[in-house]
Amino acid sequence: MMTMQEINLLVEKYIGTTPDGYLCHFSYSKHERFYPFYCNLDIDVPAYRAKGHTTRTAFIQILKDASPSDQAKIIRGALIMVPPPDETDDDNVHKKRTLYKELLVIADRLDIHNQVVPPPLLITSETVNEALKDAETLLKTRGPKSAVDRAHTALHGYLKRLCQDRGEPLPDNPSLTYIFKILREKFPEFATNILYDNEAKRVFGSMASALDSLNTIRNRATLAHPSELLLEDPEAKLYINLSWAILAYIESKIIKK
d(CA 4, CA 8): 6
Report how far Cα 242 is from the mean position of its chain's Cα atoms. 14
Helices (H), the chain: 4-8, 28-34, 45-49, 55-65, 68-81, 91-112, 126-141, 148-166, 176-186, 188-191, 197-221, 233-254
Instruction: Give the contacts of 51 (CB within 8 A, at least 6 positions apart).
Output: none
User: What is the predicted pLDDT for the residue at 115?
Assistant: 58
Compute CA distances 174 → 122, 167, 178, whole Å.
23, 15, 6
For the segment 37-52, the average pLDDT, to the nearest whole number, is 94
The predicted-structure confidence for 168-225, as pLDDT tens digits, reads as follows: 999 988 888 888 888 888 888 877 666 666 777 777 778 777 777 776 776 665 555 5
Angle between helices 68-81 and 55-65 (to 10 degrees): 140
Digit-coded pLDDT (tens) for 63-89: 999 998 899 999 999 999 999 988 888
Residue 235 has pLDDT above 70, yes or no: yes
92/51: higher pLDDT? 51
By three-state DSSP, how is residue 190 classified?
Answer: helix
H or E element that contains 38:
none
